[in-house]
Copies of this chain bind each other. A is one copy, B any other.
């Protein structure tokens, strides 16, 4: 029961991308350097986010990534599922049908009680993540910020933002 490190990188990257204007993009290399992580590894997760429709890409020089949805529409759950995959954490192997005296087939119509309880808990987990959007996170950060964090982000954006001459698409 542990989440990939890529989840944290992905969330930070999405939050950063949420700060730029329309028709602006950031390269994966810039995001990786800013966060001090492996460029290739971050790229892998950015691609997953792109496949999930959270990010859009602009190929070629001066290309990069941008949000494909508004920050209000992207929840933490969307990002986590894009990176970790959609399958639930608890996968019932139905070991009741193993062994010398397996449970008869008829009982498999209803899901195992244990599986049901575990999935209930995971639904609760996902519901909590669904409530939090990228917009919420940014608002919280701004609330506690005296300007230092904003200045840091702006400096990075000024140095690395690129204006794509393609209209925003996904």
A residues whose Cβ falls under 8 Å from a Cβ of B: 1-5, 7-9, 11-12, 15, 33-37, 76, 80, 84-85, 87, 89-93, 95-96, 98-104, 107, 110, 113-114, 117-118, 120-122, 124-129, 132, 137, 140-141, 144, 148-149, 152, 155-156
Find out whether the CB atom of B95 lies under 8 angstroms from the CB atom of A36. Answer: yes
B125 touches A121 (CB 8 A): yes
Q: How far is the CB of A149 from chain B (nearest CB, A)?
A: 7
Contact residues in B for A141 (Cβ distance below 8 Å): 113
Across the interface, do A33 and B114 meet the contact criterion of CB distance under 8 Å? no
Number of copies: 2
Q: Is chain A's binding surface mostly helix, strand, loop or mixed?
A: helix
Judging by beta carbons under 8 Å apart, are A96 and B12 in contact? Answer: yes
A2-B89, A9-B95, A118-B76 are contacts. A101–B35 as well, Cβ < 8 Å? no
> Which residue of the partner chain, among B76, B117, B118, contacts A117 with CB atoms under 8 Å?
B76
Is the Cβ of A128 less than 8 Å from the Cβ of B132? no
